[in-house]
Chain A
Amino acid sequence: MKNLPILIVLLPLVAAQLCLVFSRIHRNVGRWLVITAVSASLVMSVMQLLNVIKDGPIHYYFGNYRAPIGIEFSIDTVNGIMLILVCVIGLLTFLFSSEFRVSSDKTIVGGMNTVLCLLITGLLGMTSTGDVFNLYVFLEITSLSAYCLIAMGGNKGVIAAYRYMLVGTVAATLYLLGVAVLYANTGTLNMADMAVLLNEGDKNKAMLLAMILFIAAFGIKMALFPFHGWQPAAYTHAETSARPLISGVMGKIPAYAMFRYLFCVYGTDFKYFDFILDVLGVLSVCAMLYGSIRAMGQKDMRKLLAYSSVAQIGYISLGFAIGTPLALAGAFLHMFGHAFMKAGLFFCVGAIVYRYGKFSLEDVGRLYKKMPITCGLLVLAALSMVGIPPAVGFFSKWYLGLAAAREAKWIYLAVLVISSLLNAVYFFRLIEKFFINPDKGLPQKRERGRIEASAWILIPVIVCFVAILALGLCNAKIVDVLLLTLGEVGL
């Protein structure tokens, strides 16, 4: 039991390392190996979360070297839930991807599974680590595998991946520079230890400098306005079967890391804390408006969803910018919710591509007759994005709005309202295209199967559907669990 934190990360890692070997035997052996590993991680992360709720945060020391000497994993309720989220979406993506044959599979069998599994490993590691440099290494694992998965989406994907690689490396470099500044002032790499040392003596200026670097770095990685330039092309052209994971979770974990620095390492004693929060607030307000406005003009489903992600990331950072425990809980709830919404929407896009090979919004008229389940999820996820109860999107907005109102930040409340109306414009346009536009009589690329697509495609769709509703209806429980940790940080 005491080894749960490492096992959650280790199993996908080992599975990825061995995937190529087992794929030699048969393609499916490697695939089932990684699927088993990720499922096991999922089970263990659930167990771990229960432990954390019962006994408080877990600290895991590698090699039994105590905190500042060795590397530490620290699990609290927030990242306990995030681990589950990553595992679930990762698992669904694996199931989903099994129906898609990628072109590289001829050259290297199981290569895509390896990379996808390493992406999951990186995300899990970034979530659970309590060491600043370890975070960097996990960040790079995540980035590298993401570059690869984006590049797999064809020629435009390669360009998008290259541009993302340049920007992403700048982000990693800036992060490293920030770490250098903090290390120069504290001499430690452990987050908890750093939090203690930073509060001794006057280090506010160094901290401010490092925080600006971190905001730029994580801003790029999470595609926060104005650092989002790489994101729409990358989400659009990524490999179809990997896109749900990339769009659903990859942007969230850097956001979590930013939260970690802002609230756990720095804390409210930091002299320029309010200033940083205001900066974040301005950025997120811009993101929410800009992303929504840009999304309105898109004709390609994938681009529309990508720009909508820019806006939705704004909601998350808005929660950080408000800074009260309730707002943070709202931000994290939105993170979980949005992961399922966006991943779900991309599962839908994938299912449509699987059967018809089309991305354009003009082609999808009356598709609901042929793919009712997929379109059901599409509608639910879209409504959730707009913030219609009882989907989860409404409740995260409720917490954000409530926290903003309690802090008397009326502008944030107004922007929340405006942004969700802008969301409504393009999401109802999307729904309209599916339900109202005349049938274009698309030629089928693949047969419909017994239901409407194969089970591996439908399972993720159904799970996302249930998850959006369940997260919405059980949000009070989740927020309670989140507040166990968040109640101690924040304003």
Chain B
Amino acid sequence: MMNFLALEYRPLVAVALALTASILVYILGEHIHRNVREAITFVAAFLMAADVYSMIPSVISGEEIRLEVFSIVKGISLAFNVDAAGMIFGFVASTLWILTSLYSVGYMRGHDEKNQTGYYAAFAMCLCATMGICFAANLLTFFIFFEVLTVATYPLVVHYRDEKGKASGHKYLAYTLISGQIFFAAIVIIYVFTGTMDFVPGGFVATDALPMPWACVVFFMMVGAGIVKAGVMPLHSWLPAAMVAPTPVSALLHAVAVVKAGAFCTLRVVLYVFGPEAAKACHGAEILAWMAVLTILISSLIAIRKNNLKARLAYSTVGQLSYIVLGICILNPLAATGALYHIIAHAFLKITLFMCAGAIFVTTHKADITDMVGIGRRMPLTMLAFTLASVGIAGFPFFAGFVSKANIIMGAVEAGKPIYAATLVVSALLAVVYLMPVISIAFRRDVVNPEFSEYGEANWRMLVPLLITAVIAIVFGCAPNLGFHLYDIATMAGNSIFGALTM
């Protein structure tokens, strides 16, 4: 009898919990009361979070949690391995699932959405895939869950089942499936040339494993899947298009799972497959860093011009995700730490922003920024959270965003790439430029939209999660190590990658 609560089974348990929830919701969804249906989600979310948190101490103590479930193809196992980097992403995803679920209940009921069963099932499926991505120990396992995530997100994107949703669904699939299949080909090539698939901190591809121009090609074939999901320009256009989906889905896409999975994929490929040396030798990292730099600047400029709040936030995401990519591509322990920490920081900040946008939309049915004049008076708590998150995104001290950005900047300086550092500073200013007008419009005193008098604050189910995330964002900014030692874990990950190198 296997003890399923043993330490090494916990990553599997995390995956299985979400999977079970998804299946239960899909099968029973139409036949049970909606409260029961959502209770299933909550129970799974809480259990999963507890499960993930319980693994943190052993990660900090450096204990290895490794599980080979069974041989998934000849010679390769479906294997889970909980390491520092995966732990960070896992923490973010599992924590935010609880909050997003709560928020979803409020949003979906407040908005009286259709197809809620499918929504919750697909949502749980996404989380299942995300957990798999976090804890995958080798490329194949990673790819399996990566593709599951791609597919599971599709029903969420086309949630409204209208022409617009269909078009953006097509766009989403076109980008992710093409990159996914190319990723597949690259995995095959890597496996043929190296004979292994296990992620190793510092990479397992030797610098001379592939002939020169091809090494760079394969590098981009692999990274492609990651940067498509992370929305690095010029491959970003699905992300704003996916804005047609309901707001919790956007929150999921932008903060919890999908784009983060993309960034995480980039991390795994650059630092755990190719490794700093090979990535540098084939010039892939450098090119990618420049792409990220351009993305950061251009997306910020585009965001300024967008009037739809969600679209503006979407372009902001495109920019912020490129911070992570940039941090990874600087190939420096500090920058890597910063990139990892930015996964946390951005997740909490951006989800707050999206939840606020959603709360405004559900309560007042306003999506454009210019219509929101004076809304801050009616929804003070929502807009307070929005303000805090905006400030955090811009990278003010005492917010989570600051910690990560400071690390990336220091890493860039240390690596002798002051241009990258300058980009980050400029982009922080741009973030102020595109987010501050929202706040100033919302709190304007002179013209008060008479429509708003009939609305009050948002539903508590929406309000509570967004306040919690805002608070968490501040807490992690002031004390990055509080409670879960996330900063330590991020540092550990950075050091393990580059430490392996120096030794």
Contact = CB atoms under 8 A, between A and B. Distances in A.
Interface residues of B, number: 32
A102 B74 CA distance: 45
Given A476-B72, A476-B74, A420 B181 contact: yes
A402 B188 contact: yes
A405 B188 contact: yes
B148 A398 contact: no
B61 interface: no
Interface stretch (B84-92, B158-166, B258-266): B158-166
Contacts of A397: 184
A405 B189 contact: yes
A11 interface: no
A387 B151 CA distance: 11
- With most chain A CB atoms within 10 A of its CB, the pick from B140, B154, B165, B192 is B192
A413 B185 contact: yes
B147 A476 contact: no
Nearest to A333: B73
B139 to A, nearest CB: 11
| Majority SS at the chain A contact face | helix
Given A414-B185, A417-B181, A432 B147 contact: no
Interface stretch (A32-40, A217-225, A297-305, A388-396): A388-396
A46 to B, nearest CB: 21
B178 A436 contact: no
B184 A480 contact: no
Given A421-B178, A480-B74, A402 B151 contact: no
Contact of B182 (A372, A387, A394, A417): A417
Interface in A431-472: 432, 435-436, 438
B380 interface: no
A383 B151 contact: yes
Interface string A339-377: 000000000000000000000000000100000100010
B166 A399 contact: no
Contacts of A416: 185
A15 B336 CA distance: 70
Given A476-B70, A476-B71, A389 B177 contact: no
Interface in A174-220: none
A475 B76 CA distance: 11
A486 B182 CA distance: 29
A475 B78 CA distance: 12
Given A401-B185, A402-B192, A475 B73 contact: yes
Interface in B120-157: 140, 143-144, 147-148, 150-151, 154-155
A421 B192 contact: no
B460 interface: no
B165 A436 contact: yes
Nearest to A413: B185
Nearest to A436: B161
Given A388-B148, A394-B147, A436-B166, A421 B181 contact: yes
Interface string A313-352: 0000000000000100100000000000000000000000
A406 interface: yes
A428 interface: yes
A331 to B, nearest CB: 14
Chain A's interface size range is: 35 or more
Nearest to A401: B188
A388 B145 CA distance: 10
B432 interface: no
A473 B150 CA distance: 19
A401 B184 contact: yes
B173 A428 contact: yes
Nearest to A408: B192
A475 B144 CA distance: 14
B290 interface: no
A398 B178 contact: no
A424 interface: yes
Contacts of A376: 26
Nearest to B29: A372
B161 A435 contact: yes
B455 interface: no
A126 interface: no
A388 B147 contact: yes
B144 A389 contact: yes
A372 B23 CA distance: 13
Contacts of A406: 192
Contacts of B72: 390, 395, 473, 475-476
B191 A389 contact: no
A75 to B, nearest CB: 23
B379 to A, nearest CB: 34
15 contacts: A329-B74, A388-B150, A389-B143, A398-B73, A402-B191, A404-B188, A405-B188, A405-B192, A413-B189, A416-B185, A417-B181, A421-B177, A424-B173, A435-B161, A479-B74
Interface of B: 26, 30, 70-74, 140, 143-144, 147-148, 150-151, 154-155, 158, 161, 165-166, 169, 173, 177-178, 181-182, 184-185, 188-189, 191-192
Given A383-B151, A405-B191, 20 more contacts: A329-B74, A372-B30, A387-B181, A387-B184, A395-B73, A398-B73, A398-B140, A398-B188, A401-B188, A404-B188, A405-B192, A414-B185, A417-B181, A421-B181, A428-B173, A436-B158, A436-B169, A475-B72, A475-B73, A476-B72
4 closest A-B pairs by beta carbon, nearest first, are A389-B144, A476-B71, A405-B192, A401-B188
